[in-house]
Amino acid sequence: MFEDKDIAADISDVIIETSRKLEASLAVLRGRTTDAEYVACRSAVARLLGGALDEVMNPICARYPELKPPGFHVFHWPGGITSATTGQGRRRR
């Protein structure tokens, strides 16, 4: 994914910033919504971030380790990094 390292870096930055914003939005929702609303929103955010991790960040960081954010771990599932097109290695949750 992303032959051009500069594009990969830009996309990585966007995903990191989006992740921060989504996590901040959950903090705002906590206590201002019903428990059911909060749990539904938290679940949706988890699916979004999980997809971004599996399908974008892991491949970027595997190809360009120098773009890996501090503390970020690239997960290699059996059969390779998860792929939206092949589904190889996808862990069932």
Sign of dihedral through CA atoms 34, 40, 43, 45?
negative
The torsion defined by the Cα of 53, 56, 59 and 60, in degrees rounded to 10, comes to: -110
Looking at the domain assignment, is residue 49 inside a domain? yes
Looking at the domain assignment, is residue 16 inside a domain? yes
Looking at the domain assignment, is residue 88 inside a domain? no
8-19 pLDDT per residue, tens: 999 999 999 999
20-38 pLDDT per residue, tens: 999 999 999 998 999 999 9
Looking at the domain assignment, is residue 87 inside a domain? no
Looking at the domain assignment, is residue 34 inside a domain? yes
Cα 5–chain centre separation: 18
| Tokens of residue 79, six digits | 């059969």
Give the global pTM. 0.72
Which residue range(s) make up the domain with 59? Answer: 5-67
Looking at the domain assignment, is residue 56 inside a domain? yes
Looking at the domain assignment, is residue 81 inside a domain? no
- pLDDT of 23 reads 93
Q: Is 77 helix (H, G, I), strand (E, B) or coil?
A: strand
Question: What is the number of structural domains in the chain?
Answer: 1
In contact, 62 and 56? CB cutoff 8 Å:
no
Looking at the domain assignment, is residue 36 inside a domain? yes
